[in-house]
Amino acid sequence: MTVTGLPTAVELIEVSPRDGLQNEPEFVSTEKKKELILQLSKSGFKRIETTSFVHPKWVPQMADAEQISAYCNELGITYIALTPNVKALERALSVGAPEIAVFIGASSAFNQKNINRTTDESLAECAPLFALAKQKNVFIRAYVSTAWHCPYQGPVSFEEVHHVVNRFVELGADEIDIGDTNGEAHPQEVFETFQRLREKYPKAVFVGHFHDTSKLALANTYAALQAGIDKFDASAGGLGGCPFSPGATGNVATEDMLTMFDKMGITTGVQLSRETVAYAKSLSTRL
């Protein structure tokens, strides 16, 4: 039975191959990554975030981005590749990636610490990237990191979030992913943020991305549902956590979200087996 006023169906975007594995200290073989992607594609996910074209010096786990993308093309699946700059986007375009993702923190302290740029400097650098992606008809997923709390700054204001979202809307993002990067958000502020964003940008598509550091990821998901959000990121086995955010533990586990949505009568179109969850967990040395 569904709760009145909540979405009756949601889209889950599986992020374990990229966000889940990117911070693993030991390289996960390309073949094992391919097997994970294959199992996930058979589970009913319409979109999977599979790799990153960030320079291997910074994230060596993603050094096989071209090989992974070629495999996804063979499978015929819709996949998302992280492209932090124009050079990364050019690599993604060269292998035919259908969707790309970009990240900017709402917290200037976060951006300054990790990429030595202010928020405005980061946004300025996004303009040519968005323009090229639009020219090539590539779907753009724009992440707003540290949307509620920052490990360096502390609480993040709605105005800071709105500043980044507004620019993403102007640049033509196809969807905007609001991230609780270090897992410190609580349901009340999650509801308020999404409610205000949807009021300001009724035509924009928003996605919820929650980490389970404070064991509030499912509660925050429910709060986002109440605010009308019907797209969420999730990671099989709870793999992952931001490598540039100290103390952030794993993403919300896909299997936990599926259990909650199933009990609430909310359709996902996904059937994730215990074997696939176990396989995902087997790839991590951090769980």
Q: State the pLDDT at residue 285.
A: 84
Q: What pLDDT, on a 0 to 100 scale, did the predictor assign at position 132? A: 98
- In the residue annotation, 242 being an active-site residue is answered as yes
In this prediction, residue 274 carries a pLDDT of 97
**Residue 4 has what pLDDT?**
66
First to last CA, the chain: 34
Reported as a single tens digit per residue, the pLDDT across 82-106 is: 999 999 999 999 999 999 999 999 9
Spans in the chain with pLDDT lower than 50? 1, 243-244, 246-248
> 167 with 126: CB under 8 angstroms?
yes
| Residue reference for tokens 């990229």 | 18
Query: How far is the C-alpha of 112 from the C-alpha of 121, rounded, in Å?
Result: 10
pLDDT attached to residue 114: 84
For the segment 187-204, what is each residue's pLDDT rounded down to a tens digit?
Answer: 999 999 999 999 999 999
From the candidates 72, 126, 150, 242, which is the catalytic residue? 242
Burial of 25 by CB count in 10 Å (0-12 exposed, 13-18 middle, 19+ buried)? exposed
CA neighbor of 82 nearest in space, from 98, 102, 63, 68: 102
What does pTM read for this prediction? 0.95
Q: Rounded to whole angstroms, how far apart are CA atoms 3 and 51?
A: 36
